[in-house]
Amino acid sequence: MPYLSQSLLNWVILIIKNLSAIIGLNLRRTEKRISPSKCFLVISSDYGAYLSLLEAQKPFWEPGSQFGYHIFTWGMFVDALIRKADPKERTIDQIFREEIAEPFGIDFFQGVPTSEQYRSVPRLYSQTLWQQRGLFFDKEVRKRFKHAITDINGYFNIAKTAIAEITGKNQNNLCTDYVFRQIPCSSFNGYGTARGIAKLYGIIANGGVCENKRLFKESTIKTFDQALLQGRDVVLGALMKLGRGLIIFDSPLGSKMFGHTGYGGQFGAGDLQNQIGIAYLTNNLAPLPFIDPRCIALRDTFYECLNTLKDNENSVQ
């Protein structure tokens, strides 16, 4: 992996604090206005104009002073930097396909190619807050709701508006749109199977080698569960630990997990200590980002089973 190992991670380390200060795109240019609803299409149709939008955006706060997550802009900036860092100047979907998906049999795509569109779900559904009302008994969830409602610094509303300008009133419809699904963006427009995501994290958690092919150096893998930033996200209001493009979680057994949540409750993560990769995908979407009780219950049950297996192995020995 000459292009996605430590050298590329160093790029991410250098930019992570600056990126955390950019939560929305200023979609105005001096010569003309690019329609927000067509923003993603500009990636494919006019890459130069797309880069100009990124270059013109100024941070919303002093880089390094705090951090905030935005579903679109993280991928936009990282993907552009990766393309510049790659000697072949490949797009993110090309790099992922050629360096990861095809060599290691990972059933996942950065933007869905035409040949795979028939496998994509034709419709997405959304759960209501009432269906997940049990969350309101969680003190941390209530803090996040208070953050969203009061929105003292205005960042939550800015991020929400930026998303609405691109997706329109129904985000689910956009996610099932044939044209939109083809556009690669690593922080948003990824499609695949739970088995594929779990396999990727499983390879990483077991030393980075699969069928005599190396995905990452061991020295690189050791950095995956190291937190670079931690505290309360000023956009979402959530307490978070952030690593190199990853979120760091605590597993039910006390080990560190590295991975990420996705739109509507999707989840994928690895665990170096227990040498496992797990994933959860659904088209019946949860209403809150980063929280899906169904995923949490399955994760906890998985670790309970894992702990039982370990206890049984120890008793036999």
Render pLDDT for 181-197 as a digit per residue (tens, 0 to 9): 888 888 888 899 999 99
Please compute the mean of the pLDDT values over residues 197-203 and round it to a whole number. Answer: 96
pLDDT band of 123, cuts 50, 70, 90: confident
Instruction: Quote the CA–CA distance of 13 and 15 in Å, as a whole number.
Output: 6
Render pLDDT for 47-105 as a digit per residue (tens, 0 to 9): 887 788 788 878 888 888 888 887 777 788 888 889 989 999 998 999 999 999 999 99
User: Is residue 31's pLDDT more than 80?
Assistant: no
Strand 229-232's sheet: what is its strand order?
Answer: 229-232, 239-242, 247-250, 256-261, 267-271, 276-280
CA-based nearest residue to 236, from 126, 160, 295, 170: 160
What does pTM read for this prediction? Answer: 0.84
Do the Cβ atoms of 186 and 40 come closer than 8 Å? no
Per-range mean pLDDT, top range of 7-11, 85-89, 198-202: 198-202
| 38-52, 207-221, 272-286: least confident range | 38-52
CA-based nearest residue to 242, from 254, 255, 225: 225
Domain regions of the chain by residue span: 6-119+127-316
pLDDT (0 to 100) of residue 173: 75
User: Is residue 30's pLDDT more than 80?
Assistant: no
Find out if CATH 3.40.710.10 is the number for domain 6-119+127-316: yes
